[in-house]
């Protein structure tokens, strides 16, 4: 069993924050996970499950054990003329799974191309992009309860998926290690192209001779994302730092007095609307700002970046200042999407 001590986590988070964990273990099986969590010296210390580290901000050293999900495997467990069910180990890289399905021409997750991170973390915030969310293809997940070592299967309903949210970010936060996820993909895919710049990019690819297919749609999404978002290998970041707020219509109407064209999206509740956090932050003057080692990305104000040797606290402080300025200007309280470790 590979248990390491005093390990730098810099290579394990996409912000590139240089902090240490007291202990670190690569988890490759349930048996090994149980051995680690019940080891005498480890059983009572804090535990942090880590995938690709692409939705996490470390604000200090982690005084406990980091459990890196390194379980691999994709298994076809059910097939009908219309659909396939895949059982995917939590340590698989999400985009590798997307590519695997694209190659087989199985539809459902191509709009989620190029989202960084692991399959096991995907249910935590019900990952989503370009009009599709994980919950749209989700069947169930298998997880190990860290305090007792017991295994449990969660149905879709039990996961309580919502916009960038699930039970694993709420009442069961940090309790369950997700080691496997079951998804349903379609053999006769339905193309979801009504979002953002998809249609325009698809048209360009089709003009260049590509047929409309799952693969072409995935290529279009990859192109759009690469143009819009910073590559964490080049500039440290964690994608969108805040969620898009859902606000009462009265707040929208107040903003419209000064900004009649404020973008907004209807919600099920007719008295509420969703506003793009990026727009609010941009209107407060934050887009592309550099503050010491930190800042916001010049093409997308919602993405906070590490320009070099930023500490997690510096990035957290910037997020706090942005929160306060949006609150002051628009009376809207933004909520962080990124999981902050060490501030509460
Ligand atoms: C450039 C960029 C673009 C992004 N774009 C998007 C996007 O379009 N849509 C979107 O939804 N997200 C996006 N993200 C955020 C991120 O990719 C997703 O949230 C992803 O699912 C995180 O996976 P991870 O393995 O890196 O999780 P980590 O950052 O390692 O962990 C995130 C949280 O989940 C917990 N966790 C991780 N693995 C497990 C597990 N197996 N069991 C239980 N808990 C676990 C961790 O403890 C932590 O609280 C983006 C991030 C970046 C850097």
Span 125-137, pLDDT tens digits: 999 999 999 999 9
- What number is the average pLDDT over the span 199-214? 93
- What number is the average pLDDT over the span 298-309? 96
Same CATH fold assignment for domains 3-69 and 74-186: no
| CATH of 74-186 given 3.40.50.720, 3.30.465.10, 3.40.50.970, 3.40.190.10 | 3.30.465.10
pTM, full prediction: 0.97
Is 74 in a helix, a strand, or coil? strand
Judged by average pLDDT, the poorest of 187-191, 216-220, 238-242 is: 187-191
**Greatest pairwise CA separation for the chain in angstroms:** 63
We find that the CATH architecture of domain 236-341 is: Alpha-Beta Complex (3.90)
Whether ligand 1 lies within 6 angstroms of the CB of 71 is answered as no
Is 13 in a helix, a strand, or coil? coil
CATH topology of domain 3-69: 3.30.43
Q: Specify whether the backbone of 343 is left (phi greater than 0), alpha (psi in -120 to 50) or beta.
A: alpha
Instruction: Specify the residue with its C-alpha closest to ligand 1, atom 38.
Output: 121
Q: Which two tokens stand for residue 164?
A: 């960038």
CB 127 within 8 A of CB 115: yes
- Ligand 1 nearest atom to the CA of residue 164, by list position: 11
Q: How far apart are CA 56 and CA 342, in angstroms?
A: 11
Q: How far apart are CA 186 and CA 191, in angstroms?
A: 11
Nearest Cα residue to 10 out of 1, 2, 19: 19
Q: Which two tokens stand for residue 310?
A: 């930023």
Helix-strand-coil split of the chain, %, nearest 5: 30, 30, 40
Please, what's the b/e burial string for 2-37 (b: 16 or more CB within 10 A of its CB; e: otherwise)?
eeeeebebeebbbbbbbbbbbbbbbbbebebbebbb
Whether ligand 1 lies within 6 angstroms of the CB of 325 is answered as no
Span 28-38, pLDDT tens digits: 999 999 999 99
CA of 184 to the centre of ligand 1 (A): 21
- What ranges do the domains of the chain cover? 3-69, 74-186, 236-341
């Amino acid at each position: 069993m590979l248990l390491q001590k005093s390990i730098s986590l810099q290579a394990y988070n996409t912000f590139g924050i240089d902090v240490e964990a007291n202990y670190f273990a690569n988890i490759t099986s349930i048996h090994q996970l149980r051995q680690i969590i019940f080891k005498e010296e480890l059983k009572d210390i804090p535990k942090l499950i880590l995938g690709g580290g692409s939705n996490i901000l470390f604000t200090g050293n982690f005084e406990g054990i980091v459990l890196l999900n390194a379980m691999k495997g994709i298994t076809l467990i059910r097939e009908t003329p219309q659909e396939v069910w895949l059982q995917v180990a939590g340590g698989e890289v999400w985009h590798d799974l997307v590519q695997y399905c694209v190659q087989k021409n199985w539809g459902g997750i191509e709009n989620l191309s190029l989202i960084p991170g692991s399959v096991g973390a995907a249910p935590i915030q019900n990952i989503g992009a370009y009009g599709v969310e994980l919950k749209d293809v989700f069947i169930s997940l298998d997880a190990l309860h860290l305090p007792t070592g017991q295994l449990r299967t969660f149905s879709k309903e039990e996961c309580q998926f919502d916009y960038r949210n699930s039970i694993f970010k709420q009442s069961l936060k940090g309790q369950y290690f997700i080691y496997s996820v079951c998804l349903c993909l379609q053999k006769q895919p339905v193309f979801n192209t009504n979002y953002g710049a998809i249609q325009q990019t698809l048209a360009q690819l089709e003009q260049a001779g590509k047929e409309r297919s799952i693969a072409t749609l995935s290529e279009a999404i990859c192109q759009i994302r690469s143009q819009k978002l910073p590559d964490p290998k080049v500039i440290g970041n964690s994608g969108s730092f805040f969620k898009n707020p859902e606000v009462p219509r009265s707040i929208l109407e107040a903003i419209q007095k000064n900004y009649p064209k404020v973008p907004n999206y209807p919600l099920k509740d007719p008295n509420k609307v969703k506003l793009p956090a990026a727009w609010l932050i941009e209107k407060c003057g934050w887009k592309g700002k550099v503050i010491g080692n930190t800042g916001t990305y010049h093409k997308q104000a919602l993405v906070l970046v590490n320009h070099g040797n930023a500490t997690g606290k510096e990035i957290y402080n910037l997020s706090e200042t942005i929160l306060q300025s949006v609150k002051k200007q628009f009376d809207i309280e933004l909520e962080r999407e990124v999981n902050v470790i060490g501030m509460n």
